Structure 1
Amino acid sequence: MHARESLDSTRSLWHFIAVHLRRYREAHHLSGQALADLLGCDRSTVSRYESDRLRLKREHAEIIDRMWNTDGMFTALIGFAERADDGDWLLELAEFEARATRIRMWEASVVPGLLQTPEYASAALNAGTADDPRATVERRLARQAAVFDKPKPPRVAALLGWAAVEQVVGGADVMRGQLARLIELSELPHVSVRVVEKSAGAHPGLDGPFKILTVGDRDLAYTEAATRGRFLMDPFDVQEVAVRYDLVSDIAAPVGPTRALLEAELEKYT
Protein backbone atom coordinates (compact mmCIF):
# COMPACT_ATOMS: atom_id res chain seq x y z
CA MET A 1 0.00 0.00 0.00
CA HIS A 2 1.24 3.50 -0.84
CA ALA A 3 2.16 5.47 2.28
CA ARG A 4 -0.41 8.18 1.52
CA GLU A 5 -3.17 5.59 1.15
CA SER A 6 -2.53 4.36 4.70
CA LEU A 7 -3.18 7.78 6.25
CA ASP A 8 -6.29 8.14 8.43
CA SER A 9 -7.10 11.77 9.14
CA THR A 10 -9.68 10.79 11.78
CA ARG A 11 -7.09 9.05 13.96
CA SER A 12 -4.17 11.49 13.96
CA LEU A 13 -3.77 15.24 13.61
CA TRP A 14 -0.46 14.64 11.83
CA HIS A 15 -2.28 12.46 9.31
CA PHE A 16 -4.90 15.20 8.99
CA ILE A 17 -2.18 17.75 8.23
CA ALA A 18 -0.57 15.47 5.64
CA VAL A 19 -3.84 14.70 3.88
CA HIS A 20 -4.95 18.32 3.72
CA LEU A 21 -1.56 19.59 2.62
CA ARG A 22 -1.90 17.42 -0.46
CA ARG A 23 -5.54 18.47 -0.99
CA TYR A 24 -4.65 22.16 -0.81
CA ARG A 25 -1.70 21.70 -3.15
CA GLU A 26 -3.82 19.93 -5.74
CA ALA A 27 -6.64 22.46 -5.36
CA HIS A 28 -4.11 25.18 -6.23
CA HIS A 29 -2.91 23.14 -9.23
CA LEU A 30 0.65 22.87 -7.97
CA SER A 31 2.98 19.95 -8.55
CA GLY A 32 5.05 18.62 -5.68
CA GLN A 33 8.11 20.20 -7.25
CA ALA A 34 6.38 23.57 -7.58
CA LEU A 35 5.46 23.56 -3.89
CA ALA A 36 8.99 22.49 -2.98
CA ASP A 37 10.37 25.46 -4.95
CA LEU A 38 8.07 27.84 -3.06
CA LEU A 39 9.10 26.37 0.29
CA GLY A 40 12.79 26.32 -0.58
CA CYS A 41 13.16 22.57 -0.09
CA ASP A 42 13.48 19.54 -2.35
CA ARG A 43 10.66 17.51 -3.89
CA SER A 44 11.23 14.54 -1.58
CA THR A 45 10.52 16.73 1.47
CA VAL A 46 7.07 17.60 0.13
CA SER A 47 6.43 13.93 -0.63
CA ARG A 48 7.39 12.97 2.93
CA TYR A 49 5.19 15.74 4.35
CA GLU A 50 2.22 14.40 2.38
CA SER A 51 2.80 10.80 3.50
CA ASP A 52 3.52 11.73 7.16
CA ARG A 53 7.00 10.25 6.92
CA LEU A 54 8.19 13.75 7.87
CA ARG A 55 6.18 16.16 9.96
CA LEU A 56 5.48 19.55 8.44
CA LYS A 57 7.90 22.15 9.80
CA ARG A 58 6.43 25.23 11.39
CA GLU A 59 8.36 27.61 9.12
CA HIS A 60 6.98 25.83 6.06
CA ALA A 61 3.46 25.88 7.55
CA GLU A 62 3.75 29.65 7.98
CA ILE A 63 4.75 30.06 4.32
CA ILE A 64 1.84 27.86 3.21
CA ASP A 65 -0.64 29.81 5.38
CA ARG A 66 0.49 33.11 3.86
CA MET A 67 0.56 31.76 0.32
CA TRP A 68 -2.89 30.15 0.43
CA ASN A 69 -4.55 32.63 2.82
CA THR A 70 -5.59 29.93 5.30
CA ASP A 71 -5.78 32.31 8.27
CA GLY A 72 -2.99 30.40 10.03
CA MET A 73 -4.70 27.01 9.78
CA PHE A 74 -1.65 24.81 9.13
CA THR A 75 0.43 26.59 11.76
CA ALA A 76 -2.37 26.17 14.32
CA LEU A 77 -2.80 22.50 13.44
CA ILE A 78 0.88 21.88 14.09
CA GLY A 79 0.48 23.43 17.54
CA PHE A 80 -2.53 21.24 18.28
CA ALA A 81 -0.74 18.12 17.04
CA GLU A 82 2.36 18.83 19.13
CA ARG A 83 0.28 19.31 22.28
CA ALA A 84 -1.67 16.13 21.55
CA ASP A 85 1.65 14.28 21.29
CA ASP A 86 2.51 15.57 24.75
CA GLY A 87 -0.76 14.14 26.06
CA ASP A 88 -2.35 17.57 26.60
CA TRP A 89 -5.49 16.74 24.62
CA LEU A 90 -7.61 18.81 27.00
CA LEU A 91 -5.71 21.92 25.93
CA GLU A 92 -6.53 21.06 22.33
CA LEU A 93 -10.22 20.70 23.23
CA ALA A 94 -10.17 24.01 25.11
CA GLU A 95 -8.75 25.84 22.10
CA PHE A 96 -11.42 24.45 19.79
CA GLU A 97 -14.15 25.29 22.34
CA ALA A 98 -12.89 28.87 22.63
CA ARG A 99 -13.05 29.30 18.84
CA ALA A 100 -16.38 27.56 18.33
CA THR A 101 -19.51 29.42 17.25
CA ARG A 102 -21.74 26.47 18.11
CA ILE A 103 -21.31 23.65 20.65
CA ARG A 104 -23.62 20.64 20.87
CA MET A 105 -22.99 18.09 23.60
CA TRP A 106 -24.37 14.93 25.15
CA GLU A 107 -23.50 13.59 28.58
CA ALA A 108 -25.26 10.63 30.18
CA SER A 109 -24.09 10.45 33.79
CA VAL A 110 -22.49 13.72 34.96
CA VAL A 111 -22.99 17.40 34.31
CA PRO A 112 -20.68 18.39 31.41
CA GLY A 113 -17.49 20.19 32.39
CA LEU A 114 -18.49 23.42 30.63
CA LEU A 115 -21.62 23.63 32.82
CA GLN A 116 -20.15 22.61 36.18
CA THR A 117 -19.84 24.81 39.25
CA PRO A 118 -16.39 24.89 40.90
CA GLU A 119 -17.73 22.86 43.83
CA TYR A 120 -19.28 20.18 41.62
CA ALA A 121 -16.13 19.97 39.50
CA SER A 122 -13.97 19.63 42.61
CA ALA A 123 -16.16 16.88 44.06
CA ALA A 124 -16.26 14.96 40.79
CA LEU A 125 -12.52 15.24 40.20
CA ASN A 126 -11.60 14.29 43.77
CA ALA A 127 -13.66 11.13 43.36
CA GLY A 128 -11.71 10.23 40.22
CA THR A 129 -8.07 9.70 39.33
CA ALA A 130 -6.91 13.22 38.47
CA ASP A 131 -3.29 13.77 39.55
CA ASP A 132 -3.94 17.37 40.61
CA PRO A 133 -7.70 17.99 41.05
CA ARG A 134 -7.23 21.63 42.06
CA ALA A 135 -5.27 22.47 38.91
CA THR A 136 -7.76 20.54 36.81
CA VAL A 137 -10.65 22.53 38.31
CA GLU A 138 -8.84 25.76 37.47
CA ARG A 139 -8.36 24.65 33.86
CA ARG A 140 -12.03 23.68 33.65
CA LEU A 141 -13.11 27.10 34.89
CA ALA A 142 -10.78 28.74 32.38
CA ARG A 143 -12.45 26.68 29.62
CA GLN A 144 -15.84 27.92 30.78
CA ALA A 145 -14.71 31.55 30.80
CA ALA A 146 -13.27 31.24 27.29
CA VAL A 147 -16.65 30.02 26.04
CA PHE A 148 -19.23 31.99 28.04
CA ASP A 149 -17.43 35.25 28.84
CA LYS A 150 -16.38 36.33 25.36
CA PRO A 151 -18.26 39.23 23.68
CA LYS A 152 -20.09 36.92 21.28
CA PRO A 153 -20.49 33.53 22.99
CA PRO A 154 -21.36 30.44 20.96
CA ARG A 155 -24.73 28.80 20.73
CA VAL A 156 -24.58 25.96 23.29
CA ALA A 157 -27.02 23.05 23.30
CA ALA A 158 -26.59 20.48 26.07
CA LEU A 159 -28.40 17.16 26.25
CA LEU A 160 -28.14 15.49 29.68
CA GLY A 161 -29.11 12.01 30.78
CA TRP A 162 -31.43 11.79 33.78
CA ALA A 163 -28.59 10.38 35.90
CA ALA A 164 -26.56 13.57 35.43
CA VAL A 165 -29.34 15.45 37.21
CA GLU A 166 -30.22 12.89 39.88
CA GLN A 167 -26.78 11.52 40.81
CA VAL A 168 -25.66 13.25 44.00
CA VAL A 169 -22.13 14.59 43.60
CA GLY A 170 -20.51 16.30 46.58
CA GLY A 171 -23.57 16.39 48.83
CA ALA A 172 -26.72 18.49 49.09
CA ASP A 173 -25.06 21.92 49.08
CA VAL A 174 -23.04 21.10 45.98
CA MET A 175 -26.07 19.73 44.14
CA ARG A 176 -28.16 22.75 45.11
CA GLY A 177 -25.58 25.06 43.59
CA GLN A 178 -25.15 22.90 40.49
CA LEU A 179 -28.86 22.63 39.75
CA ALA A 180 -29.27 26.36 40.25
CA ARG A 181 -26.40 26.90 37.81
CA LEU A 182 -28.05 24.70 35.18
CA ILE A 183 -31.31 26.64 35.54
CA GLU A 184 -29.42 29.93 35.28
CA LEU A 185 -27.61 28.80 32.13
CA SER A 186 -30.82 27.49 30.57
CA GLU A 187 -32.33 30.96 30.81
CA LEU A 188 -29.61 32.49 28.64
CA PRO A 189 -30.76 33.18 25.07
CA HIS A 190 -27.81 31.33 23.53
CA VAL A 191 -27.97 28.24 25.78
CA SER A 192 -30.42 25.35 25.84
CA VAL A 193 -30.39 22.52 28.38
CA ARG A 194 -32.58 19.46 27.83
CA VAL A 195 -32.83 16.22 29.79
CA VAL A 196 -33.43 12.71 28.51
CA GLU A 197 -35.71 11.20 31.14
CA LYS A 198 -35.72 7.64 32.49
CA SER A 199 -38.74 6.72 30.43
CA ALA A 200 -36.73 7.16 27.21
CA GLY A 201 -35.24 3.69 27.62
CA ALA A 202 -32.26 2.55 25.53
CA HIS A 203 -30.98 5.01 22.93
CA PRO A 204 -27.81 5.76 20.88
CA GLY A 205 -26.46 8.14 23.52
CA LEU A 206 -25.70 5.22 25.82
CA ASP A 207 -22.60 4.56 23.69
CA GLY A 208 -20.85 7.45 25.45
CA PRO A 209 -20.56 11.25 25.72
CA PHE A 210 -19.57 13.47 22.82
CA LYS A 211 -19.42 17.04 21.55
CA ILE A 212 -19.88 18.58 18.12
CA LEU A 213 -18.11 21.92 17.67
CA THR A 214 -18.57 24.32 14.79
CA VAL A 215 -15.23 26.03 14.25
CA GLY A 216 -14.96 28.39 11.29
CA ASP A 217 -16.88 26.89 8.41
CA ARG A 218 -16.80 23.25 9.48
CA ASP A 219 -17.87 20.88 12.22
CA LEU A 220 -15.62 18.55 14.18
CA ALA A 221 -16.59 15.96 16.76
CA TYR A 222 -15.02 14.97 20.04
CA THR A 223 -15.73 11.70 21.80
CA GLU A 224 -14.67 10.88 25.35
CA ALA A 225 -13.15 7.76 26.86
CA ALA A 226 -11.87 6.82 30.30
CA THR A 227 -8.33 8.15 29.81
CA ARG A 228 -8.37 10.62 26.92
CA GLY A 229 -10.56 12.13 24.25
CA ARG A 230 -10.53 11.65 20.51
CA PHE A 231 -11.21 14.17 17.75
CA LEU A 232 -13.03 13.22 14.56
CA MET A 233 -12.50 15.61 11.65
CA ASP A 234 -13.45 13.55 8.63
CA PRO A 235 -16.88 14.86 7.44
CA PHE A 236 -18.36 11.35 7.26
CA ASP A 237 -17.33 10.53 10.85
CA VAL A 238 -18.60 13.90 12.09
CA GLN A 239 -21.89 13.26 10.32
CA GLU A 240 -22.29 9.96 12.17
CA VAL A 241 -21.88 11.75 15.50
CA ALA A 242 -24.31 14.47 14.39
CA VAL A 243 -26.90 11.80 13.59
CA ARG A 244 -26.42 10.34 17.08
CA TYR A 245 -26.95 13.81 18.53
CA ASP A 246 -30.17 14.25 16.54
CA LEU A 247 -31.48 10.86 17.66
CA VAL A 248 -30.84 11.72 21.31
CA SER A 249 -32.31 15.20 20.81
CA ASP A 250 -35.48 13.66 19.39
CA ILE A 251 -36.23 11.91 22.70
CA ALA A 252 -35.06 14.67 25.08
CA ALA A 253 -37.61 16.71 26.99
CA PRO A 254 -38.24 20.19 25.53
CA VAL A 255 -36.62 23.25 27.11
CA GLY A 256 -39.64 24.26 29.22
CA PRO A 257 -40.35 20.85 30.76
CA THR A 258 -36.62 20.38 31.36
CA ARG A 259 -36.47 23.61 33.32
CA ALA A 260 -39.45 22.46 35.39
CA LEU A 261 -37.67 19.14 36.00
CA LEU A 262 -34.52 20.94 37.15
CA GLU A 263 -36.54 23.17 39.45
CA ALA A 264 -38.26 20.11 40.95
CA GLU A 265 -34.87 18.50 41.59
CA LEU A 266 -33.61 21.72 43.17
CA GLU A 267 -36.58 21.68 45.57
CA LYS A 268 -35.28 18.38 46.98
CA TYR A 269 -32.19 20.20 48.33
CA THR A 270 -33.90 23.28 49.78
Structure 2
Amino acid sequence: MTMVDGLAPDRSIWDYIAVELRRQREVKGLSGNKLAGHIGCDRSYVSRVENGRMHLSQAYARKIDEVLDTRFLWLVELAEASDHGDWFTGLVQHEERATHHRMWEALIVPGLLQTEDYARAALTVGLVDDVEKALERRMTRQRAVWEMPNPPYVSAIINWYVLEQPVGDARVMREQLAWLLELGGRPNVTVRVLERSAGANVGQDGSFTLLAVDGRDVAFADAPERGRLITNPPDVQRFQVRYDRIANIAANRSDSRILMERAMESYT
Protein backbone atom coordinates (compact mmCIF):
# COMPACT_ATOMS: atom_id res chain seq x y z
CA MET A 1 0.00 0.00 0.00
CA THR A 2 1.32 3.44 -0.95
CA MET A 3 1.06 6.21 1.66
CA VAL A 4 -0.83 9.27 0.44
CA ASP A 5 1.43 12.33 0.40
CA GLY A 6 0.57 14.84 3.11
CA LEU A 7 -1.03 12.37 5.50
CA ALA A 8 0.52 11.94 8.95
CA PRO A 9 -1.17 8.96 10.65
CA ASP A 10 1.32 9.08 13.52
CA ARG A 11 0.07 12.56 14.47
CA SER A 12 -3.57 12.75 13.37
CA ILE A 13 -6.42 10.35 14.10
CA TRP A 14 -8.20 11.51 10.95
CA ASP A 15 -5.13 10.75 8.85
CA TYR A 16 -4.86 7.36 10.54
CA ILE A 17 -8.50 6.65 9.64
CA ALA A 18 -7.78 7.56 6.01
CA VAL A 19 -4.73 5.29 5.77
CA GLU A 20 -6.32 2.44 7.72
CA LEU A 21 -9.50 2.49 5.63
CA ARG A 22 -7.51 1.96 2.46
CA ARG A 23 -5.41 -0.76 4.11
CA GLN A 24 -8.43 -2.65 5.45
CA ARG A 25 -10.25 -2.35 2.11
CA GLU A 26 -7.28 -3.79 0.24
CA VAL A 27 -6.78 -6.58 2.80
CA LYS A 28 -10.40 -7.63 2.20
CA GLY A 29 -9.83 -7.53 -1.56
CA LEU A 30 -12.38 -4.80 -2.23
CA SER A 31 -12.07 -2.03 -4.77
CA GLY A 32 -13.22 1.46 -3.87
CA ASN A 33 -16.26 0.95 -6.09
CA LYS A 34 -17.23 -2.29 -4.35
CA LEU A 35 -16.86 -0.81 -0.88
CA ALA A 36 -18.94 2.20 -1.95
CA GLY A 37 -21.63 -0.17 -3.20
CA HIS A 38 -21.66 -2.09 0.08
CA ILE A 39 -22.15 1.03 2.21
CA GLY A 40 -24.38 2.93 -0.21
CA CYS A 41 -22.23 5.90 -1.17
CA ASP A 42 -20.47 7.28 -4.25
CA ARG A 43 -17.02 5.95 -5.18
CA SER A 44 -15.74 9.51 -4.91
CA TYR A 45 -16.68 9.58 -1.21
CA VAL A 46 -14.44 6.59 -0.42
CA SER A 47 -11.63 8.16 -2.46
CA ARG A 48 -11.90 11.51 -0.68
CA VAL A 49 -11.86 9.85 2.74
CA GLU A 50 -8.83 7.71 1.85
CA ASN A 51 -6.99 10.76 0.50
CA GLY A 52 -7.71 12.76 3.64
CA ARG A 53 -9.86 15.32 1.84
CA MET A 54 -13.00 14.40 3.78
CA HIS A 55 -13.64 13.05 7.26
CA LEU A 56 -15.44 9.73 7.52
CA SER A 57 -18.93 10.15 8.99
CA GLN A 58 -20.25 8.07 11.87
CA ALA A 59 -23.05 6.71 9.69
CA TYR A 60 -20.69 5.36 7.04
CA ALA A 61 -18.15 4.24 9.66
CA ARG A 62 -20.87 2.05 11.20
CA LYS A 63 -21.63 0.49 7.81
CA ILE A 64 -17.93 -0.06 7.08
CA ASP A 65 -17.52 -1.84 10.42
CA GLU A 66 -20.35 -4.20 9.45
CA VAL A 67 -18.78 -4.95 6.06
CA LEU A 68 -15.10 -5.15 7.04
CA ASP A 69 -15.42 -6.22 10.71
CA THR A 70 -13.42 -3.17 11.87
CA ARG A 71 -13.73 -0.42 14.50
CA PHE A 72 -13.93 2.75 12.42
CA LEU A 73 -16.94 4.06 14.34
CA TRP A 74 -14.89 4.00 17.53
CA LEU A 75 -12.03 5.84 15.78
CA VAL A 76 -14.37 8.48 14.35
CA GLU A 77 -15.96 9.06 17.77
CA LEU A 78 -12.48 9.40 19.25
CA ALA A 79 -11.40 11.90 16.59
CA GLU A 80 -14.56 13.96 16.98
CA ALA A 81 -14.09 14.09 20.75
CA SER A 82 -10.55 15.41 20.31
CA ASP A 83 -9.67 19.08 19.98
CA HIS A 84 -8.16 18.71 16.53
CA GLY A 85 -8.26 14.97 15.95
CA ASP A 86 -4.78 14.57 17.47
CA TRP A 87 -3.55 11.45 19.19
CA PHE A 88 -2.65 13.14 22.49
CA THR A 89 -6.22 14.27 23.07
CA GLY A 90 -7.23 10.73 22.20
CA LEU A 91 -4.88 9.52 24.93
CA VAL A 92 -6.64 11.74 27.47
CA GLN A 93 -10.00 10.23 26.51
CA HIS A 94 -8.57 6.75 27.09
CA GLU A 95 -6.99 7.68 30.42
CA GLU A 96 -10.37 8.70 31.77
CA ARG A 97 -11.82 5.27 30.97
CA ALA A 98 -8.88 2.94 31.57
CA THR A 99 -9.05 0.38 34.36
CA HIS A 100 -5.32 -0.34 34.30
CA HIS A 101 -2.40 1.95 33.44
CA ARG A 102 1.02 0.45 32.79
CA MET A 103 3.73 2.99 32.13
CA TRP A 104 7.44 3.02 31.47
CA GLU A 105 9.28 6.32 31.79
CA ALA A 106 12.94 6.65 30.89
CA LEU A 107 13.63 10.34 31.50
CA ILE A 108 11.05 12.05 33.70
CA VAL A 109 8.34 11.28 36.24
CA PRO A 110 5.19 10.22 34.33
CA GLY A 111 2.73 13.06 33.87
CA LEU A 112 -0.03 11.42 35.92
CA LEU A 113 2.36 11.05 38.87
CA GLN A 114 3.86 14.55 38.86
CA THR A 115 3.39 17.14 41.58
CA GLU A 116 2.25 20.55 40.40
CA ASP A 117 5.64 22.17 41.03
CA TYR A 118 7.53 19.35 39.30
CA ALA A 119 5.16 19.56 36.34
CA ARG A 120 5.63 23.33 36.12
CA ALA A 121 9.42 22.97 36.18
CA ALA A 122 9.30 20.27 33.50
CA LEU A 123 6.99 22.32 31.26
CA THR A 124 9.10 25.46 31.67
CA VAL A 125 12.10 23.87 29.98
CA GLY A 126 10.01 22.40 27.16
CA LEU A 127 8.56 23.86 23.97
CA VAL A 128 5.34 25.11 25.58
CA ASP A 129 3.97 28.53 24.67
CA ASP A 130 1.70 28.87 27.73
CA VAL A 131 3.14 26.98 30.70
CA GLU A 132 0.24 27.70 33.07
CA LYS A 133 -2.34 26.57 30.52
CA ALA A 134 -0.40 23.37 29.85
CA LEU A 135 -0.02 22.85 33.61
CA GLU A 136 -3.76 23.14 34.17
CA ARG A 137 -4.39 20.58 31.44
CA ARG A 138 -1.97 18.19 33.14
CA MET A 139 -3.58 18.69 36.54
CA THR A 140 -7.02 18.17 34.99
CA ARG A 141 -5.79 14.88 33.49
CA GLN A 142 -4.62 13.80 36.93
CA ARG A 143 -7.91 14.69 38.62
CA ALA A 144 -9.86 12.79 35.98
CA VAL A 145 -7.92 9.64 36.90
CA TRP A 146 -7.22 9.91 40.62
CA GLU A 147 -10.66 11.24 41.61
CA MET A 148 -12.61 8.44 39.95
CA PRO A 149 -15.10 6.67 42.26
CA ASN A 150 -13.13 3.49 41.49
CA PRO A 151 -9.58 4.61 40.59
CA PRO A 152 -7.71 2.43 38.12
CA TYR A 153 -4.78 0.19 38.94
CA VAL A 154 -1.54 1.96 38.04
CA SER A 155 1.74 0.13 37.47
CA ALA A 156 4.62 2.53 36.84
CA ILE A 157 8.26 1.69 36.18
CA ILE A 158 10.68 4.61 36.19
CA ASN A 159 14.30 4.61 35.12
CA TRP A 160 17.04 5.29 37.70
CA TYR A 161 17.84 8.45 35.73
CA VAL A 162 14.50 9.94 36.79
CA LEU A 163 15.63 9.87 40.44
CA GLU A 164 19.01 11.44 39.77
CA GLN A 165 18.09 14.13 37.23
CA PRO A 166 16.87 17.26 39.08
CA VAL A 167 13.75 18.91 37.67
CA GLY A 168 13.33 22.14 39.56
CA ASP A 169 15.22 22.76 42.80
CA ALA A 170 15.91 20.39 45.69
CA ARG A 171 12.59 21.17 47.37
CA VAL A 172 10.67 20.30 44.22
CA MET A 173 12.51 16.99 43.93
CA ARG A 174 11.98 16.07 47.58
CA GLU A 175 8.26 16.76 47.31
CA GLN A 176 8.02 14.84 44.06
CA LEU A 177 9.77 11.80 45.46
CA ALA A 178 7.66 11.97 48.62
CA TRP A 179 4.57 11.98 46.41
CA LEU A 180 5.81 8.94 44.50
CA LEU A 181 6.31 7.14 47.80
CA GLU A 182 2.82 8.12 48.94
CA LEU A 183 1.24 6.98 45.69
CA GLY A 184 3.24 3.75 45.77
CA GLY A 185 1.79 2.99 49.18
CA ARG A 186 -1.74 2.88 47.82
CA PRO A 187 -3.24 -0.56 47.19
CA ASN A 188 -4.00 0.26 43.55
CA VAL A 189 -0.61 1.80 42.69
CA THR A 190 2.80 0.23 42.16
CA VAL A 191 5.90 2.33 41.50
CA ARG A 192 9.07 0.42 40.67
CA VAL A 193 12.56 1.53 39.67
CA LEU A 194 14.79 0.15 36.95
CA GLU A 195 18.26 0.37 38.47
CA ARG A 196 21.39 1.55 36.68
CA SER A 197 22.83 -1.94 37.12
CA ALA A 198 20.18 -3.30 34.74
CA GLY A 199 22.37 -2.06 31.90
CA ALA A 200 21.21 -1.86 28.29
CA ASN A 201 17.55 -2.83 27.90
CA VAL A 202 14.51 -2.48 25.64
CA GLY A 203 13.32 0.51 27.68
CA GLN A 204 15.99 2.61 25.98
CA ASP A 205 13.81 2.64 22.86
CA GLY A 206 11.59 5.24 24.56
CA SER A 207 8.83 5.82 27.08
CA PHE A 208 5.31 4.50 26.59
CA THR A 209 2.01 3.77 28.30
CA LEU A 210 -0.35 0.82 28.03
CA LEU A 211 -4.02 1.35 28.87
CA ALA A 212 -6.71 -1.28 29.38
CA VAL A 213 -9.90 0.25 27.95
CA ASP A 214 -13.16 -1.60 27.33
CA GLY A 215 -11.51 -4.99 27.58
CA ARG A 216 -8.65 -4.26 25.17
CA ASP A 217 -5.22 -2.65 25.42
CA VAL A 218 -4.02 0.42 23.54
CA ALA A 219 -0.52 1.88 23.68
CA PHE A 220 0.75 5.44 23.60
CA ALA A 221 4.36 5.96 22.55
CA ASP A 222 6.00 9.20 23.63
CA ALA A 223 7.89 11.38 21.15
CA PRO A 224 9.81 14.69 21.52
CA GLU A 225 7.04 16.81 20.00
CA ARG A 226 3.98 14.59 19.71
CA GLY A 227 3.34 11.01 20.68
CA ARG A 228 1.16 8.51 18.87
CA LEU A 229 -1.62 6.19 19.91
CA ILE A 230 -1.32 2.57 18.82
CA THR A 231 -4.50 0.53 18.48
CA ASN A 232 -3.55 -2.26 16.06
CA PRO A 233 -3.42 -5.45 18.25
CA PRO A 234 -0.11 -6.84 16.86
CA ASP A 235 1.56 -3.46 17.39
CA VAL A 236 0.11 -3.14 20.90
CA GLN A 237 1.37 -6.62 21.70
CA ARG A 238 4.93 -5.53 20.95
CA PHE A 239 4.61 -2.84 23.62
CA GLN A 240 3.17 -5.39 26.04
CA VAL A 241 6.21 -7.59 25.49
CA ARG A 242 8.54 -4.60 26.00
CA TYR A 243 6.79 -3.72 29.25
CA ASP A 244 7.05 -7.29 30.53
CA ARG A 245 10.76 -7.41 29.69
CA ILE A 246 11.37 -4.16 31.59
CA ALA A 247 9.26 -5.35 34.53
CA ASN A 248 11.24 -8.58 34.70
CA ILE A 249 14.49 -6.71 35.45
CA ALA A 250 13.11 -3.82 37.56
CA ALA A 251 13.59 -3.69 41.32
CA ASN A 252 10.70 -5.08 43.35
CA ARG A 253 8.25 -2.80 45.15
CA SER A 254 10.06 -2.83 48.48
CA ASP A 255 13.54 -2.23 47.06
CA SER A 256 12.15 0.51 44.83
CA ARG A 257 10.85 2.36 47.88
CA ILE A 258 14.32 2.22 49.40
CA LEU A 259 15.83 3.63 46.22
CA MET A 260 13.33 6.49 46.15
CA GLU A 261 13.87 7.23 49.85
CA ARG A 262 17.65 7.40 49.33
CA ALA A 263 17.20 9.67 46.35
CA MET A 264 14.92 11.96 48.34
CA GLU A 265 17.54 12.23 51.12
CA SER A 266 20.14 13.32 48.54
CA TYR A 267 18.17 16.48 47.72
CA THR A 268 19.09 18.65 50.71
Q: Same fold (TM over 0.5)?
A: yes
Partner of 2:96: helix, strand, or coil?
A: helix
1:262 is matched with: 260
Matched, 1:73 2:74: yes
Q: Quick check: 2:87–2:229 contact (8 Å CA) kept in 1?
A: no
1:147 is matched with: 145
Summarize the alignment of residues 102-117 of structure 1 with structure 2, pairs less than 5 Å apart. 102-117=100-115
Query: Deviation digits for residues 41-81 of structure 1, max 9, x if unmatched?
Result: 4465356546766421256557889xx9x8x7254133157
Q: Quick check: 1:162–1:197 contact (8 Å CA) kept in 2?
A: yes
**Any unmatched runs of 5+ in structure 2?**
29-33
Q: Which amino acid aligns with 1:77?
A: L
Deviation at 1:219, TM superposition (A): 1.2
Change (3 A) 1:2 1:12: same
Identity %: 46
Distance 1:55 1:190 in 2: 40
1:134 is matched with: 132
1:239 is matched with: 237
Partner of 2:191: helix, strand, or coil?
A: strand
Distance 2:236 2:193 in 1: 23
Change (3 A) 1:78 1:62: farther
Query: Deviation digits for residues 23-56 of structure 1, max 9, x if unmatched?
Result: 8xx8xxx9743531xxxx4465356546766421
Query: Deviation digits for residues 209-268 of structure 1, max 9, x if unmatched?
Result: 111111112211111111111111111111111111111111100011111211222233
Query: Deviation digits for residues 140-196 of structure 1, max 9, x if unmatched?
Result: 111111111111121111110001012111111101110110001101111110000
Match for 1:210 among 208, 211, 214? 208
* TM-score calculated relative to the size of structure 1: 0.80
Distance 1:259 1:170 in 2: 22
Distance 2:196 2:45 in 1: 56
2:45 is matched with: 45
Distance 1:125 1:11 in 2: 21
1:33 is matched with: 37
Partner of 2:122: helix, strand, or coil?
A: helix
Distance 2:115 2:2 in 1: 50
CA RMSD of aligned residues (A): 3.2
Change (3 A) 1:149 1:64: farther
Q: Which amino acid aligns with 1:137?
A: L
Q: Quick check: 1:9–1:233 contact (8 Å CA) kept in 2?
A: no
Q: Quick check: 1:100–1:154 contact (8 Å CA) kept in 2?
A: yes
